[in-house]
Amino acid sequence: MARLSEEQYHVPVMLTECMDLLSIRCGYTYADATLGGGGHSAEILKRIEEQCARSTDQTGLLISTDADEVAIAKCTSRFAEYLDVQPPLFKIVHANFSELPSVLEGHILGGVLFDLGVSSFQFDHHERGFSFRANAPLDMRFTPTGKNAADIVNTYSEAELTDIFYRYAEDPSSRRIAKVIVQSRNLSPIYTTFDLRELVVQVVPTQHQSKTMARIFQALRIEVNNELQRLESTLHRMIQMLAPTGRIVVMSYHSLEDGIVKNVFKEYSDASSKVVSLLTKKPITPSANEVSQNPRSRSARLRAIERL
């Protein structure tokens, strides 16, 4: 897949749909939990300005977080004009989205947007081994602390690797891939993305190699960053923090994430303990035109709720 241009990094997925569901109003704080290239944040800022231009006594605030220091640096430069105004309009915080509850403590929360996709910048340029298409250290951490993907493939047992690949990749080759990893690391440690790719190629038919490698890399990234547990925990906490009529909008890119979002939203919208209303009975997907313009949007699924 060809690299995206610098401009394309800032093209957010389902922008109109996300903004319509978020329904920006003056007088509230909004959060972009996954800043990335800043595409969604830019539109949220625009809509806060539009809404608050009609008010003489209310303002709005956007707080955007990201675990990646590269994204923080790029967006701090991109949005410099918004970051030093009074009253405050925009704050950028270097933090994982799981830290949002503490970041947003004390704010009247009107809405939160989660775009759970790994950014194109990370896939194409970041030297942390998110992609199997370029040789890089087998890292996959969003922040440079804790275990990395190389630690996992070199220390987890064959049974543990099989379980990770089966649960997080849902790949039928999980057992074979785990076995060849363990056999290979006994001879030489696995340190790079190409080291791992060469092992997958050995046990997967040619026609399935690209899809299988994408799944295996996804599984390792999820395990390294504890993504699914963090997502579920954070959604529970953010629902409790929403102001009345506040909204949570989540865009996921694979069935594991979407399943968590669906189940958490369903739990809080059940008639017996109704806390929120579902704004999306079924997930919204990108239009055919958007997918043709941005193929990386094709797997996106959008769900939203409103606090009662």
Per-residue pLDDT for the chain (308 aa), expressed as one digit of tens each? 333 344 444 579 999 999 999 999 999 999 999 999 999 999 999 999 999 988 877 899 999 999 888 889 999 999 999 998 888 899 999 999 999 999 999 999 999 999 998 765 555 555 777 888 889 999 998 877 889 999 999 999 999 999 999 999 989 999 999 999 999 999 999 999 999 999 999 999 999 999 999 999 999 999 999 999 999 999 999 999 999 999 999 999 999 999 999 999 999 999 888 999 999 999 999 999 999 999 889 999 999 999 99
For 84-122, write each residue's pLDDT tens digit.
888 889 999 999 999 999 999 999 999 999 999 876 555
Q: Would you say the C-alpha torsion 136, 138, 142, 145 has a positive or negative sign?
A: negative
3-class DSSP string for 95-164: CCHHHHHHHCCCCCEEEEEEECCCCHHHHHCCCCCCCCCCCCECCCCCCCCCCCHHHHHHHCCHHHHHHH
263 CB burial (10 A radius; 0-12, 13-18, 19+): exposed
The domains of the chain, with CATH numbers, are 8-121+228-307 (3.40.50.150), 127-225 (1.10.150.170)
Reading the block at residue 118, the tokens are 């790994």
On whether the CB atoms of residues 268 and 239 are closer than 8 A, the answer is yes
No. of helices (H) and no. of strands (E), the chain: 13, 7
Count of CB atoms situated within 10 Å of the CB of 15: 14
Count of CB atoms situated within 10 Å of the CB of 189: 13
For 223-258, write each residue's pLDDT tens digit.
999 999 999 999 999 999 999 999 999 999 999 999
224, amino acid identity: V
Count of CB atoms situated within 10 Å of the CB of 98: 19
Q: Answer yes or no: pTM beyond 0.95.
A: no
